[in-house]
Structure 1
Amino acid sequence: MQAGFLRVCLVVVAAIVNHPLLFPRENTTLQESDKEIIQKLKKHEENLKIEQLRLEQEIARRDAEINMILEGKEENKLPWDFWSTISMVIFLLIEIWRQDFQDGHLQEPNNEEDDMSLWGNIFQAVSLPNKTALATFYERVIRSTTNDAARTREFVEGFADDLLEALRSVCNRDADMEVEDSVGVGSMYENWRVNKPLVCDLLVPFTPPEPYRFQSEIWGSANSSPEDKQGYGKIKVCRPGEEATGCICDKTKLGEDMLCLLHSKNNETKLNSEMEVLLCSKNTQNLDTDQVMKWFQIAVTKAWNKISHKYEFDVTFSHLDAPGALKIKFRSGKFITLNLTPVVQYEDSDAYFISHFPNSGLPNDFSSGTYWLLSFAVYERRFLTEMAKRLPENSCHLSCLQILTFLHQKQSALTGQSGLTNYHLKTALLHLLLARPALDWSFEKLDARLREILKYLEKSLHEKKLYHFMIGNGSLPASICLPETFLVAEPLNLFRQFVLHRSIYKKTMDSFYEMLKNASVLINEYTLHNRFEPYGIAV
Structure 2
Amino acid sequence: MKAAVLLFVLLKSLIHYPQLVGDAQDEETRHHMEVRAKQLEWERIRMEQEVEQLSLKQSGRAWGDLLCFSIHPWQAWAVAGLLVLLLRLYFYWKKRSHEAEDSGEEDGEDPVLDNDLRWLIQEHIQWPVLDLQKGCERTTDLMDNYTVYFGHVLANSFYPGLKRAIGVGSAFEGWSPREQDVVYQVLIPMTPPRGHSFHLELDSAEQRQGRNFRVRVQLECTCSKEQQAENMLCFLHHPEEELRSNQDPSLLDTLCTNSYLDVQKTARWFYQLVRAIWPALPQSHNWHLKLLPSRRSCQFQVTNGRKTFRIEILFGVRRGDSHIFVSSQPGCAGTPSTLWPESYAVAEVKFFQHIARRAPPDSLHLRCLQLFTRLQLGIGFSTYTMKTIVMHLLNTVPVSQWRRRDFLRRLGDINVNLRCCLEKKHLSHFVIGNKRFPRQIRLPLDITSAEPPNLFHHLARHPSVHSQAMSEYQDLQYRLASVLLNGH
Pair in the same fold by TM > 0.5: yes
Alignment of 1:218-237 (within 5 A): 218=202, 224-228=204-208, 230-237=210-217
CA contact (8 A) 2:146 2:277 kept: yes
> Cα distance 1:320–1:379, how it changes in 2: closer, same or farther (>3 A)?
closer
Give the greater-gyration-radius structure (CA).
Answer: 1
CA contact (8 A) 1:141 1:526 kept: yes
Helix, strand or coil for the counterpart of 1:328? strand
Q: Quick one: distance in 2 between partners of 1:364 and 1:306?
A: 37
* Deviation for aligned residue 1:524: 4.3
Q: Quick one: distance in 2 between partners of 1:229 and 1:522?
A: 33
Aligned to 1:155: 138
Q: Quick one: distance in 1 between partners of 2:201 and 2:477?
A: 42
Q: Quick one: distance in 2 between partners of 1:233 and 1:120?
A: 47
Q: Quick one: distance in 2 between partners of 1:307 and 1:386?
A: 33
Aligned to 1:249: none
Helix, strand or coil for the counterpart of 2:260? coil
CA contact (8 A) 1:391 1:438 kept: yes
Gaps of 5+ in 2: 1-68, 87-112, 223-233
Helix, strand or coil for the counterpart of 1:478? coil
1:374 to 342, 364, 370: 342
1:483 to 444, 461, 468: 444
Helix, strand or coil for the counterpart of 2:320? coil
> Cα distance 1:501–1:444, how it changes in 2: closer, same or farther (>3 A)?
same
Q: Quick one: distance in 2 between partners of 1:279 and 1:305?
A: 25
CA contact (8 A) 1:142 1:402 kept: no
Helix, strand or coil for the counterpart of 2:376? helix
Q: Quick one: distance in 1 between partners of 2:72 and 2:360?
A: 34
Helix, strand or coil for the counterpart of 1:480? coil
Helix, strand or coil for the counterpart of 2:454? coil
Aligned to 2:167: 184
Alignment of 1:91-106 (within 5 A): none
Q: Quick one: distance in 2 between partners of 1:232 and 1:306?
A: 37
Q: Quick one: distance in 2 between partners of 1:119 and 1:367?
A: 40
Q: Quick one: distance in 2 between partners of 1:485 and 1:140?
A: 46
TM-score (norm 1): 0.61
> Cα distance 1:377–1:320, how it changes in 2: closer, same or farther (>3 A)?
closer
1:496 to 437, 457, 468: 457
1:295 aligns with 2:269: yes
CA contact (8 A) 2:323 2:346 kept: yes
Q: Quick one: distance in 1 between partners of 2:118 and 2:311?
A: 30
Aligned to 1:339: 312
One-letter amino acid matched to 1:447: L
CA contact (8 A) 2:299 2:312 kept: yes
* Deviation for aligned residue 1:337: 1.0
1:319 to 272, 276, 293: 293
**Residues matched between the structures, number:** 373
Q: Quick one: distance in 2 between partners of 1:272 and 1:293?
A: 20
One-letter amino acid matched to 2:294: L
Alignment of 1:185-334 (within 5 A): 185-197=168-180, 198-218=182-202, 224-228=204-208, 230-241=210-221, 262=236, 266=240, 274-281=250-257, 284-307=258-281, 310-332=284-306, 334=307
| Deviation readout 1:93-149 (Å, 9 max, x if unpaired) | xxxxxxxxxxxxxxxxxxxxxxxxx99957985546778787446446666613x22
Aligned to 2:370: 402
Alignment of 1:429-508 (within 5 A): 429-500=390-461, 504-508=465-469
Aligned to 2:321: 348
Kindly, what percent of the aligned residue pairs are identical? 25
Aligned to 1:424: 385
* Deviation for aligned residue 1:306: 4.4
> Cα distance 1:122–1:210, how it changes in 2: closer, same or farther (>3 A)?
farther
Q: Quick one: distance in 1 between partners of 2:235 and 2:251?
A: 18
Q: Quick one: distance in 1 between partners of 2:217 and 2:367?
A: 44
Q: Quick one: distance in 2 between partners of 1:499 and 1:337?
A: 37
One-letter amino acid matched to 2:251: M
> Cα distance 1:189–1:123, how it changes in 2: closer, same or farther (>3 A)?
farther
One-letter amino acid matched to 1:181: R
CA contact (8 A) 2:388 2:430 kept: yes
> Cα distance 1:214–1:521, how it changes in 2: closer, same or farther (>3 A)?
same
1:513 aligns with 2:486: no
Q: Quick one: distance in 2 between partners of 1:356 and 1:485?
A: 21
TM-score (norm 2): 0.67
CA contact (8 A) 2:142 2:283 kept: no
Q: Quick one: distance in 1 between partners of 2:70 and 2:481?
A: 19
